[in-house]
Amino acid sequence: MSHHNIMPEDCFTAFRESIDSISLPQKFTFPFYYKPHPLSLIAAKELQNHLLNQKDWEHDFGIVHYVEGSNIGKMFGVLVVQKTTGEIGYLSAFSGKLAGTNHLPGFVPPIYDLLNKDGFFKIEENNISEINHRIKALKKADDYLLAKNTYQQQIKDSEKELADFKLFMKLEKQQRKDKRNQAKDKLDPSVFNELEEVLKQESLKHQYDFKQLKKHWKELLGNSQKCVDKFAYEIENLKEERKLRSGLLQQKLFNQYQFLNIDLQTKGLNDIFKDTSQKIPPAGAGDCAAPKLLQYAFQHNLKPIAMAEFWWGQSPKSEIRTHGNFYPACRGKCEPILGHMLKGMLVDDNPIQAPTIDDHELKVVFEDEDILLVNKPTEFLSVPGKQTDDSVYSRIKEKYPNATGPLLVHRLDMSTSGLLLIAKNKEAHKVLQSQFINRTVNKRYIAVLDGTIKEDEGLIDLPLRVDLDDRPRQLVCYEHGKPAQTRWKVIERSDDQTRVQFFPLTGRTHQLRVHSAHAQGLNTPIVGDDLYGTMKNRLHLHAEFLEFTHPVTGKKMKIKVKPDF
């Protein structure tokens, strides 16, 4: 059955290709780190063919040429399912909305349809939108602008008039003083006393006039401010109402998102996220492909067998998404939701939960009384992680119980192999760390890139920050990112791969991986990069060389260890 001789409410698609020779997986796909099962690959290929050939709706994915705007490329998902009759097929979904809608033939529906014109969300969104228009209209109202301008002008006028009067009083006071001094010796006392009284009355009159002037302006300004406040108060009330309505709408919306699991237990978004670090659900939670697919399967008594998600179309500007590549589910939005939805199912183990190595694998490359250099294996932590304590740090601490201080001077990503510098005492650590901070340490990495780089060398300068919805992924971000620079040089090209040397000038998380894969960088991911490229046996990135000054002897140290790829 093709994608489209389907009843709108039936999203089950039978495989076109024969799948008789493929055995079903024992466990369901671990959604945050997986290699797509052969059935998922066939389902994805059939869905991709459908996307290329369907005529029911239009959306330019930016595959052939660049398209301006956001939401050009999309994440799609396939879920291989089994009916109670034993028939195997698959479900398809897209993340968010597509072609301006949440409902497209053959794709599973959203958990809640935000775009339904008659639904409470659209109705209340229109009410909030109406409040916005009223606020805008009030802010631009002629009466309001006139009242504001009048008030501002009166403030200026009052300040000037009061200042002028103060100056006048000061000059008058000086004149009275001069008159007094001149008259003191010339006039006889009784006449002088009369003059004194006249001058005193003059002074009191000025003070009285000043008070009256102040009073006059106070009344005038008070009335003007009341006019302005009347509008401002109305605007403030509307803003408060908008805030309240938005909050209630968000809560009501979260309550619509109720997720099932295989035992048909329901849990809402608020419940799911209340125990996470963010406490409240992030925007768009529940609209990704994975939750939609599982929800539909549970609602229609279909047994989930395997799942995969792929990116289709142009990459967003900040994230790295390659057309046709498979990607894990996002951590920020989907991890808490899928935690509930997959409960009660047999799921593949998390392969990166507890990477551990044999004792002999942490090879010491150089050692003396003060420092130590080891060759860290790939997929091994530098410092203890959330799920496992096993790391270079814990191994070294065990081996050298008398060592003082923080030990590790710098870190390497878990997937990166190569040289790690360790200080055996606090003093050495302090000296070495200042060398890293002042960038006097020379570092060189070797990487194999998944494609051919035309230029021979260059500098990449792309600021990076963490993707808050999908840690530990990094994004290129000119607004909030931290500066990140990498020099690079090609060593050799062969078999559609390029071996390069990297010289990082800064040390940001995943810097070399993002600078390689991002369209504004080398636009070619590192071989085996499961986050920004395609999964292989390992990430082909290795810290090959370190040059630094010995913290005690002051000698220049140059240490090199070759990669095993």
β-pair partners for 421: 373
Pairing of strands 464-466, 13-14: unpaired
Enter the tokens of residue 52.
């290329």
Written as one letter, the residue type at 374 is V
CB 106 within 8 A of CB 11: yes
Count helices and strands in the chain by DSSP H and E runs? 10, 18
Q: Among 243, 249, 326, 338, which Cα is nearest to 288's?
A: 338
CB 16 within 8 A of CB 2: yes
Q: Among 323, 331, 314, 312, which Cα is nearest to 525's?
A: 323
Q: Which residues contact 111 (CB under 8 A, 6 or more apart)?
A: 256, 257, 258, 259, 286, 287, 291, 292, 295
> In angstroms, what CA-CA distances link 100 with 58, 59, 115, 182, 428?
10, 9, 9, 92, 60
Catalytic pick among 287, 413, 469, 529: 413
For helices 331-341 and 289-299, give the axis angle rounded to 10 degrees.
Answer: 20
Alpha-carbon distance 565 to 354, whole Å? 23
Enter the tokens of residue 379.
């997929």
Q: Among 395, 298, 393, 300, which Cα is nearest to 341's?
A: 298
Cis, peptide link before residue 110, omega less than 30° from 0: no
CA 407 to chain centre: 32
Residue 204 DSSP SS3: helix
Q: Is 413 a catalytic residue?
A: yes
Q: Among 442, 440, 392, which Cα is nearest to 546's?
A: 442
The angle at the Cα of 534, spanning 529 to 537, to the nearest 5 degrees, equals: 70
Element (H, E) at 118: none
Element (H, E) at 474: strand 474-476
Written as one letter, the residue type at 354 is A
Alpha helices in 57-141 (DSSP H): 120-140
Burial (CB count within 10 angstroms: exposed 0-12, middle 13-18, buried 19+), residue 208 = exposed
Pairing of strands 303-312, 13-14: unpaired
Torsion angles phi and psi, residue 43, rounded to 5 = -60, -45
Q: Find tokens 């109305």 and name the residue.
A: 234
CB 174 within 8 A of CB 158: no
Q: What are the residue numbers of the active site? A: 413
